[in-house]
Chains A and B, each alone.
Chain A
């Protein structure tokens, strides 16, 4: 069944979009990430204009993170205070990001920057994650379960403006969550991803947050970041297609719930290793496209 998308200005198959939403939703439920890093390239691949893909994806992620945060909220796993500090940073990051997006689009370099940031940013995080999870799996196989310290004290703990976050049992500089939020906001606006893939490891390794509050707090924060990105993209670029977003999220929420259930059968480090392999595959594809001789050297864009 074909549906004409009013903002993207082309028609798509309803079941294809529902299926894509469901598949990516399943993976995001399974791994506890938003799935934007898969959805945005997929949307562009089926012919949705990149600007509409990024804008609509932000809108879809609002729904996904609201749906995801509910379970964490009920269990009291959301550190609202820390989330708000990160939010202050990510608001600035999103506004700056949408502004940069506009400039790069005018210069014709937005696709390049999206590809480069995928490869550089997600590639590095995925490689680190893969190494870490493989080490954990090997350690378990050998049966030498060693417990390290709760978190290491390093130079980051010497920063000023220390704040106490009771829920996460942290006493750290407010600059840290602020900076992490800022980068997360930039990622949302420029790459059309929720940023969970970056936020979760940063919160664990840089802030030393306990695993229990990480997912809920990052989702809580992502709701607002993606909402701001949606508003700015809709307001300045008119690139949010609500019909496409609705179709994606209908498939996505069902997929996410099934994924969350499936996640109970996977161990944490196994899930992380699988996720890392998947992200590395996406990055490898983009990296090849950056260096291989393109089939068509020319591209066109209609100016508005």
Chain B
């Protein structure tokens, strides 16, 4: 129990720091008694603004935390850098299953995770979910140039895309995973698997209240490779020809060494 409280205390300190940094947060005493009259307040931050993929990287957790000034529905949405994805469907041709129809989706988040404090269906403001694309049903995924595809077909391909991303552990929904303390402090852990896509991520936190528009809170963080792995990747991308030659030289010398070593043994 004490460990838990220390954690919350640490988070509290971090929130104070974060609030200080943004500069726009009211002083604690200002809110007392007057909270219900003021516009709802929402503040959030992440435990780390850069996730570093090192050679021994096996996935990591990121804590998203913040404050709200009244009870409500909290949704934490994390999106990875957008990518273009082609979805293909197999059909049977002459007894063999062959990729036939395909559909390209643009602006697909390479990572998508939603954490809420209670089930999405029970949110008071369902329109907010649609507007902000919160939850897999509301996630905006539209095909590029699919004029000749029926609505049912598009839905089928869209669902297949989500299924595939879920299999890769990069799309997830965590219901009840946002813990709220005294209707004020909230926190949630977002897990990033070892195959996490690299790039700039966006975290948005939404506070849903019945009949009231609350502006969401957004921040970003970066997922990148560092160390030897990053150097290898950058070299392979920027100097593809020398990289290829180096790869061959390494292989030739390794093969040579092995043969020489075993000859002596």
Instruction: State whether A70 touches B259 (Cβ < 8 A).
Output: yes
> Does A262 interact with chain B (Cβ within 8 Å)?
no
Closest B residue to A64 by CB, please name it.
Answer: B255
Considering only residues 141-191 of chain B, those with a C-beta below 8 Å from chain A are 157, 160-161, 163-165
Stretch at the interface among B11-19, B26-34, B242-250: B242-250
Cα–Cα, bound, A230→B245 (Å): 8
Inter-subunit contact B55/A3 (CB<8 Å): yes
Contacts A11-B194, A242-B247; A299 near B88 (Cβ below 8 A): yes
B255→A65 contact, CB < 8 A: yes
Q: Are A301 and B88 in contact (CB under 8 A)?
A: yes
Q: Is A145 an interface residue (CB 8 A)?
A: no
Complex: how many Å from CA A70 to CA B164? Answer: 46
Contacts of B83 in A (CB 8 A): 302-303
Closest residue to B256 on the A side, CB-wise?
Answer: A66
Contact of B236 among A4, A112, A234, A303 (CB under 8 A): A234
Select which of B195, B243, B254 is within 8 A of A246 by beta carbon: B254
Contact of B57 among A11, A112, A249 (CB under 8 A): A11
Does chain B have a CB within 8 A of A138?
Answer: no
Question: Are A6 and B251 in contact, with the CB atoms below 8 A?
Answer: no
The interface size bin for chain A is 35 or more
Which one of B37-45, B116-124, B225-233 is at the interface? B225-233
Verify A257–B164 contact, CB threshold 8 A. no
Partner of B255, one of A240, A243, A253, A291: A253
Q: Are B250 and A300 in contact (CB under 8 A)?
A: no
Q: Are A112 and B99 in contact (CB under 8 A)?
A: yes
CB of B3 within 8 A of chain A? Answer: no
Contact with A along B30-67 (1 / 0, CB 8 A): 00000000000000000000000111111100000000
Contacts A59-B247, A301-B86 given; does A4 touch B255 at CB 8 Å: no
Give every chain A residue within 8 A of B97 (Cβ-Cβ): 290-294, 297
CB-based contact A234/B247 at 8 Å: yes
**Is B98 touching A242 in the complex (CB atoms < 8 A)?**
no
* Residue among B157, B229, B251, B259 making CB contact with A298, cutoff 8 Å: B157
B127 at the interface (CB under 8 A from A): no
- Given A108-B86, A299-B99, 10 extra CB contacts under 8 A: A3-B55, A63-B251, A108-B88, A235-B241, A243-B232, A290-B96, A298-B160, A298-B161, A298-B163, A299-B90
- Which residues of B pack against A, CB within 8 Å? 53-59, 83-91, 95-99, 102, 104, 110, 157, 160-161, 163-165, 194-195, 197-198, 225, 228-230, 232-233, 236-237, 240-241, 243-248, 250-252, 254-256, 258-260, 262-263
- A–B complex contacts, Cβ < 8 Å, 29 sampled: A3-B56, A4-B58, A6-B228, A6-B236, A11-B59, A59-B247, A59-B248, A59-B251, A63-B251, A67-B255, A67-B259, A70-B263, A108-B99, A109-B98, A231-B245, A234-B244, A234-B247, A236-B240, A238-B240, A249-B258, A253-B255, A253-B258, A290-B96, A291-B96, A297-B91, A298-B87, A299-B90, A299-B99, A302-B83
